[in-house]
Structure 1
């Protein structure tokens, strides 16, 4: 893939000195990261992009940002790869997803990514609201903010394995959202799914984790690991990584008892902070957009 939604809105890019920033955007605001330091949280009130970007440039003039969107802003759909030439995939995908979305295709923008496995005939389509993203892009232009790329949580997580040959299973969770499971290797996303029933895992007590929550989660992890090995014909994941809040150290200890793999917690004060850092890591990539 291709972590750059909305290439047709690339008019914001300007050729002069800029300050690279990683920005994670959820419905509460923007979390901003710059070169090994978390800068600040910028509120986003009623989707007022211009005020948020103006606040950013007052503090960091000449911002050049890589954005990671929270799942509030996109939908993932898995479809069969259309049997057409590559340059016609974008047009064909409109017919593949039109009955899977709640809005008319004309009101949406979509991108897609393929599995790293050459023999996989599925595509994952990222769908966003065109009006929302256009408003974001226009506000950035008006505030002289250059947007280098727009990505999503699942793709950003792949930066955790950029130089590693062994697969990792990552559990990531933002408050009041579904728990996400991704499997990554060598900077590529091999598998992603939402794990239902754990959207409050950040507030579950250590006692409740011990009284069954961890074991129930272990069953979900085992199913996904079995699929990764048997259906995708991959070697077992080397580790399980937890990117979440709450009693994550106790959860790691309990999961370790159920798996041979090492279970690690990813250090961060807030999950949004880490996603802003992973957005910043996108500056190390030069990934083309696959469909406009």
Structure 2
């Protein structure tokens, strides 16, 4: 398959892609659900640089990635049962392994499971910094690291989860790896370095006899360890040109059946590991958690949006309340106008009656007094109406100006307003924010005339700064009115 077609598949935006990344001692490879494979060689032992080159090559974007660590990337440790609850396993297990590690427990991530061997616990530990570096590189490409597992745990994909089987695979450095999986869990492993495959991955008859002898020794040892479970068979995957013929030869020499894996026939062993990870929803070992090394920011866009929403709701509520007050004042004004109209009608009636009679001096005096009383009532009603209108306009104008003068570092919690006073209470981000905010009032029509007599700034128990602004009633203005 050409690289162009491979890249097109990786760049498909129809849905979020699923990728598997595998890191071994000599190479990094990436596979996808279409069966495509991209390999990058590790130069001078720089694994992270090889991963970076691989990401650049495939232009990885918006994908969920599962990571598989080869045997040289982690440590497999068999210890006594640490007796840790599942919720504390990820954080506490590295400290249980400190006597077996050359690194600090703070620099290590670890996971494990109860070993099929009675009273033992199988732990896997890896370097935290390398995993975090890969996770960061993926996040920069809008990708997510789903899980990090290890080669020994992933070999369970070759075996029957209800039985115990042995898996044989070739090592890159030479020799053969022998691994026993019991009901999906690593049970036993050893390396046979006395046997070396040639360039064609072929074994001579003598080598086959020696390999059968080593396998039989391991079978005999495990029979004494696994008393209730016996090894059902051997799975052979040496990347040989004819693994089936080798399996038949070994079956003739052993007491158990030897077979080749059914999973992705003809695919190299390490590529099979990567592909099997795509088909494993959740591995027995996971050395990664979403919270590993990533702190959730306190201030997020969602929180800011929520704060703005609450602020707008409060402002809308204040506006609705002021509108209700304005409506109530309008009704009172209509009632006063009705009373005025009644007085006007009464005045006209009296005038008409007066024209029919010659008034006496007493009547004139009474009439003048009544006119004076009516004039005073008219002035009183006009003053009340003008005062109510001016007060309503002033209150609404002040609130509009406060809304226009809003700042990100000032949060108003309470506003007390009257014809002669304006008191404001709220929260500030810093002590300097309040004076800076007040100086902007001179640019607003209604706030420009307000002079504040006092300002108080206090720190509450929750560490927030609370301020209070108070104005003082102008005695001269009150006297003039």
For the criterion TM > 0.5, the same-fold answer is: yes
Q: Which residue in the other structure is 2:190 paired with?
A: 194
Deviation at 1:214, TM superposition (A): 2.2
Higher mean displacement: 133-142 or 222-231: 222-231
For residues 172 and 42 of structure 2, the distance between their equivalents in structure 1, rounded to whole angstroms, comes to 17
Q: Which residue in the other structure is 2:273 paired with?
A: 275
Against the structure 1 CA distance between its residues 100 and 79, is the aligned structure 2 distance closer, same or farther, given a 3 Å change threshold?
Answer: same
Q: Which residue in the other structure is 2:234 paired with?
A: 240
Q: Does 1:224 align with 2:218?
A: yes
8 Å contact from structure 2 (residues 147, 286) kept in 1: no
Deviation at 1:172, TM superposition (A): 2.1
Relative to the length of structure 2, the TM-score reads 0.49
CA RMSD of aligned residues (A): 3.1
Q: Which residue in the other structure is 2:55 paired with?
A: 53
Q: Which residue in the other structure is 1:7 paired with?
A: none
For residues 256 and 123 of structure 1, the distance between their equivalents in structure 2, rounded to whole angstroms, comes to 32
Q: Who wins on radius of gyration, i.e. which is larger?
A: 2
Higher helix residue share: 2
| Secondary structure of the corresponding residue to residue 279 of structure 2 | helix
Q: Which residue in the other structure is 1:5 paired with?
A: none
8 Å contact from structure 2 (residues 201, 238) kept in 1: no
Written as runs of structure 1 = structure 2, the 5 A alignment for 1:259-270 is 259-266=254-261, 267-270=265-268
Pick from 163, 183, 191: which aligns with 1:166? 163
Against the structure 1 CA distance between its residues 64 and 189, is the aligned structure 2 distance closer, same or farther, given a 3 Å change threshold?
Answer: same
Against the structure 1 CA distance between its residues 274 and 291, is the aligned structure 2 distance closer, same or farther, given a 3 Å change threshold?
Answer: closer
Higher RCO (CA < 8 A, seq sep 6+)? 1
| Secondary structure of the corresponding residue to residue 204 of structure 2 | helix
8 Å contact from structure 1 (residues 202, 244) kept in 2: no
Deviation at 1:269, TM superposition (A): 3.5
Higher strand residue share: 1
| Secondary structure of the corresponding residue to residue 280 of structure 2 | helix
Q: Deviations over 1:224-274 (max 9, x none)?
A: 323433312244323211122235345323311211322122333322211
Relative to the length of structure 1, the TM-score reads 0.77
Q: Does 1:254 align with 2:249?
A: yes
For residues 110 and 36 of structure 1, the distance between their equivalents in structure 2, rounded to whole angstroms, comes to 32
| Secondary structure of the corresponding residue to residue 277 of structure 2 | helix
Against the structure 1 CA distance between its residues 286 and 135, is the aligned structure 2 distance closer, same or farther, given a 3 Å change threshold?
Answer: closer
For residues 30 and 90 of structure 2, the distance between their equivalents in structure 1, rounded to whole angstroms, comes to 32
For structure 1, list consecutive stretches of 5 or more residues without a partner in the other structure: 1-15
| Secondary structure of the corresponding residue to residue 282 of structure 1 | coil
8 Å contact from structure 1 (residues 113, 290) kept in 2: no
